[in-house]
Structure 1
Amino acid sequence: MTTNGEADAGTGTARQPAPGVQPYYAQAAEALAERYESVRFETVHRDFLPLLPTAPARVADIGAGTGRDAAALATLGHEVLAVEPVPELRRVARRLHPSPSIHWLADSLPDLARLEGEAGSFDLVLLSAVWMHLEEPDRPAAMRRLHTLLAPGGRLLISLRHGPPPAGRRMYNIPAPETVTLATHHGLRPLRKTTGTDHLGRDAVHWSSLAFEKERA
């Protein structure tokens, strides 16, 4: 694995995001960076802050985007694997957040094929504004994969968007109870469920913050 570059962990082939997801994020990478980086990690994820592990811990930020959350977690003293399938976003993120504690990997759910051999490696897995991009048939496999990656007692944090999908992007308005049920079915114990308004000021959008914990052996 290389620092601040393209990590070479794993031997699988990364699965590309669903059509309608990657083109938008590739074309809008710079504009999205300005938007996402305008809001602090501590503001967006305030409901998750009490659930973060004690540093140093090993963290995976799945769908890391422009790196805001990965950088905040690295600043807290964690070793962060930032997984992002869109090369344009990875380039922006590495420029904005050149931390030696962040390692970048091109991969995506539901397979996360390049993380083969990483079972039980992570104390925390974060999915911020990612789960709603998964089609219904892919969600069980994705949840099963996330469970596998967590260490015993590790935590999964999901911020889930609700509201009409924007033009040009494929996303789904997934009910929070569906996600809680799926996580429970795959051996993840619910810890917390909260709701909140959109930090970018979109009236038609609101969010659920869902936290789970993998049972200890």
Structure 2
Amino acid sequence: MSDQSAPAGSGIGPARGTAGYAEAADALAVQYEEVTFGDVHGDVLQLVPAEPGRILDVGAGTGRDAAALAARGHRVVAVEPTAELRAHGQRIHADSGIDWVDDVLPDLVLSRHTGRFDAVFATAVWMHVDAEERRRAMARIATLLVPGGRFFVNLRHGPVPDGRHMFDVSPAETTELGAAYGLQTVHRSERPDLHGRDGVRWSCLVLQAADAADSLN
């Protein structure tokens, strides 16, 4: 995951992106589960697929969001490269039916999970990859979405915690990068930090792939 202290994610990205998460996994597991999927994604719940589908949660951390999506009837693949967080998730949400994967941005090999997804979530993880990695990651995610599929991104802004590897990524950059790979921004909003940390705020974006009808026009 990433800074899930607000949303959910654990620095995915190459090894440096996960810096600080293994050592703090026990405390982070408690922190991540203190807020709910609805708390984090309240502004975009209407855009989450209503019918059961296939969803990829990138940087799933303890699986808070993955479990909530599975409870809605979705088949969820949870990517989490930090073994300690993955172990907590497998314990906390043991009965959720989540399929856990050790994988990493920007390449997301997903060797056991071919095919496309109705939605991809990257909650509190996108800021852990640098500009070139973000380009590669967006290109990869675009290939993973079904026509009309949606990419949910939460961006953290504010002071970087000690020992973490983060970049200040703007909503505008993310929107432009998505557009370069055929993803249209259908939602953008801002919200304060759910844990009340000074100087920390969040941007919530949803980018959508063209649907089949649009691609024919």
Output aligned runs, 1:66-85, within 5 Å.
66-85=62-81
Task: Specify the SS of the correspondent of 2:21.
Answer: helix
Query: What's 2:206 paired with?
Result: 211
Specify whether residues 17 and 191 from structure 1 end up closer, same or farther in structure 2 by C-alpha distance, changes over 3 A only.
Answer: closer
Structure 1 residue 173 and structure 2 residue 168: aligned?
Answer: yes
Query: What's 1:38 paired with?
Result: 34
Distance, in Å, in 2 between the alignment partners of 1:171 and 1:164 is: 10
Distance, in Å, in 2 between the alignment partners of 1:179 and 1:167 is: 25
TM-score by structure 2 length? 0.88
Aligned-pair identity in percent equals 46
Query: What's 2:25 paired with?
Result: 29
Distance, in Å, in 1 between the alignment partners of 2:107 and 2:77 is: 16
Task: String of CA shifts for 1:85-139, please: whole Å, max 9, x gaps.
Answer: 11111100000001353100000110002348734x1001000001000111111
Task: Specify the SS of the correspondent of 1:154.
Answer: strand
Distance, in Å, in 2 between the alignment partners of 1:125 and 1:157 is: 6
**Total equivalences in the alignment:** 201
Distance, in Å, in 1 between the alignment partners of 2:155 and 2:133 is: 16
Displacement after TM superposition at 1:18 (Å): 3.3
Q: Which ranges in structure 1 are unaligned for 5 or more consecutive residues?
A: 1-15
Query: What's 1:197 paired with?
Result: 192
- Alignment equivalent of 2:49, drawn from 47, 53, 58: 53
Q: CA RMSD in A?
A: 1.5
Distance, in Å, in 2 between the alignment partners of 1:18 and 1:151 is: 26
What residue identity is the alignment partner of 1:78? H
What residue identity is the alignment partner of 2:109? A
Displacement after TM superposition at 1:19 (Å): 4.4
- Alignment equivalent of 1:106, drawn from 86, 102, 107: 102
- Alignment equivalent of 2:149, drawn from 150, 154, 158: 154
Specify whether residues 216 and 116 from structure 1 end up closer, same or farther in structure 2 by C-alpha distance, changes over 3 A only.
Answer: farther
Distance, in Å, in 2 between the alignment partners of 1:72 and 1:206 is: 23
Displacement after TM superposition at 1:22 (Å): 2.6
Counterpart contact for 1:19–1:170, Cα < 8 Å: no
What residue identity is the alignment partner of 1:158? V
Structure 1 residue 96 and structure 2 residue 109: aligned?
Answer: no
- Alignment equivalent of 2:128, drawn from 110, 129, 133: 133
TM-score by structure 1 length? 0.88
Displacement after TM superposition at 1:177 (Å): 0.4
What residue identity is the alignment partner of 1:106? D
Displacement after TM superposition at 1:17 (Å): 3.7
Task: Specify the SS of the correspondent of 1:31.
Answer: helix
Specify whether residues 30 and 183 from structure 1 end up closer, same or farther in structure 2 by C-alpha distance, changes over 3 A only.
Answer: same
Counterpart contact for 2:14–2:104, Cα < 8 Å: no
Task: String of CA shifts for 1:13-61, please: whole Å, max 9, x gaps.
Answer: xxx8434433411111110011110011101110120001023110000
Distance, in Å, in 1 between the alignment partners of 2:33 and 2:110 is: 27
Distance, in Å, in 2 between the alignment partners of 1:205 and 1:18 is: 24
Specify whether residues 17 and 212 from structure 1 end up closer, same or farther in structure 2 by C-alpha distance, changes over 3 A only.
Answer: closer
